[in-house]
Chains A and B, each alone.
Chain A
Amino acid sequence: MTRVQGSVLRNLGLVLVCVAGFVVTTRLVRQVVPYDADRGQRSKMAAFTEVEDEIDAIYVGSSVVYRSFVPAVIDPLLTRPGEPFRSFNLGLGGMSDFEAAALLREILVRRPARLRWVVLVPPRWDPRRYSVGNEETLRSVRWHTPRGTFDALMSVALLEDALGDKLALMGEHVGVFARWLGNYGMGPAIAEAWLAGDAARGEIDAFVAQGGYRALEDEDDPRVTKRRDTFLADESAYRAAVASLMGGTQQASDLDDFNVDALVAQRREVAEVGADVVYVFPPVLGPLAVARSLAVSGRLPLVIDLHGPLAQGDLYDVDARFDKGHLDREAAAEFSRRFAQLFDVLRDEGR
């Protein structure tokens, strides 16, 4: 080895040592980044942590999940003599499929002792929908782990968009990944969370008691009220959307741009802790074409179908809705009863 080669190797070694110092420290700092600082999220996770080893089923997903699954209704219906059943709603407003997958992964790593069922709305893995105004939020950064970013990039690659658009979207995801990697710009959030202290005890207790569910009627956020007022002010638009859904509920879609690998990997991860994924088609306004195609192709083994105004007409009534996307308290309870009945059958079949 020449002197120059030795010098180069030595300097490369120093670069590696520098990178090691960086990686070790960013990992330590990441532990104190308040990724759960969003409204209600910290309390809900704190509540789940307190009861996680008693939980048989979790519901993970967006506000559709959050405002539909009522454990207080579901659990008694699924409890049998000597065989208690307890579930927890981990839904959160605006949760994308990637975020849900990351949250699920975090929970599976903890291996909750009794977890047997993971209830999900079939994912779309749409890498565009996550980002509307949320690219810089803590929640968006949170799921841009190497694995989450990889899934997003694969989903982008499958899109039928122009190459330039796809590269731009990939760049956006890589940029957020870089923020995750270096905790870039997280200092003020860390300081604020530190000053704010722990989540409110009362809110944690409420989430424990309600199994993570909270009706939209109980929210004091003025934006929620405004959303309801907007819905009530134009019921005809909602009725028209329901009417157009009538003819399309059974339509299928091709799966060319669907990230099947991510779906399979998610099911495998759940199976590794001895649990199964149950996919629920909820009473939403969208046609769920991708979900139906997945079901037809056999990629969703356990499905509970509560979608479509033809079969679930009363859940689509204006009276059953808090707003156009969410059930109100009574309708959520009714949805939960129907879910429990179907789940009970599916559970027996599973045995």
Chain B
Amino acid sequence: MIFSEARFIVFFAVVFGLHWALRSQRARKTWLLVASYAFYAAWDVRFLALIVASTVVDFAAGRAMARSNERSTRRLWMAASLVCNLGLLGFFKYYDFFAESAVAFSTWLGLPLDLALLQVVLPVGISFYTFQTLSYTIDVYRNKLPPTRSPLDFALFVAFFPQLVAGPIVRASTFLPQLVRPVRFADVRVRACLLLFLVGWVKKACLSDQVAVVVDPIFAAPASHAAADLWLGAVLYAVQIYGDFSGYSDMAIATAGLLGYALPVNFAAPYLATSVRDFWRRWHISLSTWFRDYLFIPLGGSRVGPGRTALNLLVVFTLCGLWHGAAWTFVIWGLFHGVFLGLERRLDVGRLPGVVARSYTLLVVLVGWVLFRAESLDGALEYLAGMAGAGSAASAGVDLRWWLLVAGTLALQWMLSAARRRADDPLALPRVPLPDIAFAFAYGVVVALLLPWAATGYRPFIYFQF
């Protein structure tokens, strides 16, 4: 069940109706937890046990750390949480990757290993909820967050369905306090939520899914496409992944908002960034800030020497790449960004004129997306060589419509960025000067006018695979 499907609308209508019909806060939270588990079970009921296991371990770890003043005991529970969470993530997501890589490396050394591949199915959203629960135990361990006493609150924090399978990655320090306060429908910014949901739906269904039909065949056979087509494919993939992921985030934020809960901003016009560093302040913000706060800063951040800072960046972004997927293409993508972030610390790109800075950033990001999207490293190199004009295929002819769509995407980002009244509040959208009844009618009209522009055929969100 994905947010852009009709059955999600039905599911959400039921959840929303009963949520606000219940009078007690505890009953509402219980209902949301049941709905969240049902939402996840709709993907694969078997993996529900993983979420429950992760919830139990981290709740217990939090309580145990709260009870103990012994540093060693606290460290033990912290280690238990890390081993459990990263162990599950490592087993389900990375075992085959590391096993394959080890076999290939040992074969290259002439000492072939015989490691069996498990080919386990990747549980949807495991990368997201693992990082969420880790934020809790780490913050409790650091005494930055008092551990919750409520298993219900903690379970809902882990499984809250709007952000369960593809983020934004919500920190315990952001979400748990919201569960303590009673939510009131009067506080819900209904119009802003409805508008943001619609914006997210347009990004996903009308932008991302539409361009997928062009992108997929180009990436599937780069050698049979001319340079112009390959550039188009790369640019359209940038549109696709932005529409896909930021669209999902918008819908998640709006859905949570309608239930009375706030999720953080996750995208802020990333393709208008003026440097790679700026790009990571605007792209998947909840992930980049997670890596900053829980990895980069503990490694010493930028308070150490230039060489060590560069190394820290490489480590963080390599792991960031690996977080996105168990393949060398993702690792190289992360390293690629890490290298440019390191370079930017030495070269002052902030002094570049705006157009030049944006063009440079877009170019780096586009090349990065080729690494990210390609099926293999060889495929990525073949693609990049083709973009540089090394191929001999004739162009299929560039359709002006797609470039108009690209321009539309950039314009949309600019408009959304300009319209948002507060950078830290995704629901701070401009007021629509209409009475409620006119707004309701207009909303129905706009939805009816937009539905024809949705791409037909089901396409799951790209970020679910991470």
A17 touches B452 (CB 8 A): no
A21, A183, A185, A186: which contacts B440 (Cβ < 8 A)? Answer: A21
Question: A174: nearest residue on chain B (CB-CB)?
Answer: B6
Q: Which residues of A contact B445 (CB under 8 A)?
A: 21-22, 24-25
Q: Which residue of chain A is the closest to B456 with respect to CB atoms?
A: A185
A243 an interface residue at 8 Å Cβ cutoff?
no
Complex-state Cα separation, A298 to B185, whole angstroms: 63
Q: Which residues of A contact B366 (CB under 8 A)?
A: none
In the complex where A22-B444, A22-B447, A25-B444 touch, is A183 in contact with B437 (Cβ < 8 A)?
no
Bound Cα distance A20, B445 (Å) = 9
Main secondary structure of the interface of B (DSSP, over half): helix
Q: Are B440 and A18 in contact (CB under 8 A)?
A: yes
Kindly state whether residue A26 has any CB partner on chain B within 8 Å.
Answer: yes
CA distance A182 to B448 in the complex (A): 6
Query: Per-residue CB proximity of A33-75 to B under 8 Å, as 1/0?
Result: 1000000000000000000000000000000000000000000
Nearest CB of chain B from residue A46's CB, rounded to whole Å = 23
A17 and B438 CA atoms in complex are apart in Å by 8
Query: Do A15 and B440 touch (CB < 8 A)?
Result: yes
Contact B456 A20 (CB under 8 A): no
Q: Which residues of B contact A190 (CB under 8 A)?
A: 452
CB of B442 closer than 8 Å to a CB of A = yes
> A255 an interface residue at 8 Å Cβ cutoff?
no
Contacts of B14-61 to chain A: CB distance below 8 A: none
- Against A, the Cβ 8 Å flags (1 = close, 0 = not) of B429-453 are 0000000110011111101110111
Which A residue's beta carbon lies closest to that of B185?
A7
Q: How far is the CA of A23 from the CA of B443 in the complex (A)?
A: 12
Asked if A136 lies at the interface with its beta carbon under 8 angstroms from chain B, I say yes
Q: Is the CB of B443 within 8 A of A186?
A: no
| Bound-complex Cα distance A136 to B458 (A) | 12
Query: Would A184 and B440 be within 8 Å (CB), given that A22-B445, A25-B445, A178-B6 are in contact?
Result: no
Q: Is the CB of B444 within 8 A of A185?
A: no
| Contact A17 B456, beta carbon cutoff 8 Å | no
Cβ of A313 < 8 Å from any Cβ of B? no
Complex contact A185–B443 (CB within 8 A):
no
Main secondary structure of the interface of A (DSSP, over half): helix
How near does chain B come to A11, taking the closest CB pair, in angstroms? Answer: 9
Contact: B453 with A187, CB < 8 Å? yes
Q: Are A21 and B451 in contact (CB under 8 A)?
A: no
Interface footprint category on B = 20 to 34
Complex: A7 Cα to B455 Cα, angstroms: 37
Query: Which of A7, A21, A178, A187 is in CB contact (< 8 Å) with B444?
Result: A21
Instruction: Tell me which residues across on chain B come within 8 A of A183, comparing CB atoms.
Output: 448, 451-452
The reply to whether A14 and B447 form a contact with Cβ atoms under 8 Å apart is no
A187–B451 Cα distance when bound, in Å, is 8
> Does B307 sit within 8 A of A, measured CB to CB?
no
Q: In the complex, which residue of chain A has the Cβ closest to the Cβ of B186?
A: A7
Residue of A20, A178, A187 near B441 (CB, 8 A) is: A20
Q: Is the CB of B441 within 8 A of A18?
A: yes
Q: Report if A29 contacts B (CB, 8 A).
A: yes
Interface residue? A214 (CB, 8 A): no
**B454 proximal to A (CB < 8 A):** yes
> Whole-angstrom distance from the CB of B214 to the nearest CB of chain A?
13
Q: Which one of B185, B449, B453 lies within 8 Å of A25 (CB-CB)?
A: B449
In the complex, what residues of B have CB within 8 A of residue A20's CB? 441, 444
B298 on interface, CB distance cutoff 8 Å: no
B444/A19 in contact, CB under 8 A: yes
Complex alpha-carbon distance, A70 and B187, angstroms: 70
A26 near B448: Cβ-Cβ < 8 Å? yes
Q: Does A179 contact B (CB under 8 A)?
A: yes
Known: A22-B445, A136-B456, A136-B457. A182 touches B451 (CB 8 A): yes
A131 CB, min distance to chain B CBs, angstroms: 15
Chain B residues with CB under 8 Å of A188's CB are 453
How long is the Cα–Cα vector from A115 to B442 in the complex, in angstroms? 43
Residues of B within 8 A of A23 (CB): 444, 448
Q: Which of B441, B454, B457 is close to A21, meaning CB atoms less than 8 Å apart?
A: B441
- Interface 1/0 per residue, A282-306 and B, CB below 8 Å: 0000000000000000000000000
Contacts of B449 in A (CB 8 A): 25, 29
Interface centre among B437, B448, B455, B456 (most CB of A within 10 A): B448
Of the candidates B441, B454, B457, which one forms a contact with A17 in the assembled complex, judged by CB atoms under 8 Å apart?
B441
**For the complex, what is the distance from the CA of A17 to the CA of B447, rounded to whole Å?**
13
A19 to B443, CA, bound (A): 9
Q: Is there an interface contact between A14 and B437, defined as CB atoms closer than 8 Å?
A: yes
A18 contacts which chain B residues (CB < 8 A)? 440-441, 443-444
From A190, which residue of chain B is reached at the shortest CB distance? Answer: B452
* Closest chain A residue to B457, Cβ basis: A136
Closest to A32 in B: B452
Give Cα A23–Cα B449 distance, bound, in whole angstroms. 11
CB neighbours (8 Å) of B451 from chain A are 26, 182-185
Report the separation of the CA atoms of residues A183 and B451 in the bound assembly, to the nearest whole angstrom. Answer: 7
Question: How far apart sit A102 and B122, CA to CA, in the bound complex (Å)?
Answer: 46
**Shortest Cβ distance from B449 into A: residue:** A25
CA distance A25 to B450 in the complex (A): 11
Determine how close the nearest CB of chain B comes to the CB of A1; give it in whole angstroms.
Answer: 16
Most buried by A among B436, B442, B451: B451
For B444, the chain A residues whose CB sits under 8 A away are 17-25
A143 to chain B, nearest CB (A): 17
Contact in complex: B441, A185 (CB < 8 Å):
no
Q: How far is the CA of A153 from the CA of B440 in the complex (A)?
A: 33
| Chain B residues, CB < 8 A from A33 | 452
Residues of A within 8 Å of B440, CB to CB, are 14-15, 17-18, 21
**Inside 8 A of B456's CB, which chain A residues have their CB?**
136, 179, 184-185
**Contact A186 B452, beta carbon cutoff 8 Å:** yes
Considering only CB atoms, which chain A residue lies closest to B448 in the complex?
A: A25
* Measured CA separation A184–B442 after assembly (Å): 18
Q: Nearest-CB distance from B259 to chain A (Å)?
A: 15
Question: Contacts A18-B440, A20-B441, A21-B440 given: A187-B452 contact, CB under 8 Å?
Answer: yes
| CB<8 Å pairs between A and B, sample of 16 | A7-B185, A20-B444, A21-B448, A24-B444, A24-B445, A25-B445, A25-B448, A26-B451, A136-B456, A136-B457, A182-B452, A183-B451, A184-B454, A184-B456, A185-B452, A185-B456
Residue numbers of A with Cβ under 8 A of B are 7, 14-15, 17-26, 29, 33, 136, 178-179, 182-188, 190
Closest 10 A/B residue pairs (Cβ): A21-B444, A25-B448, A22-B444, A185-B456, A187-B452, A187-B453, A21-B441, A18-B444, A14-B440, A18-B440
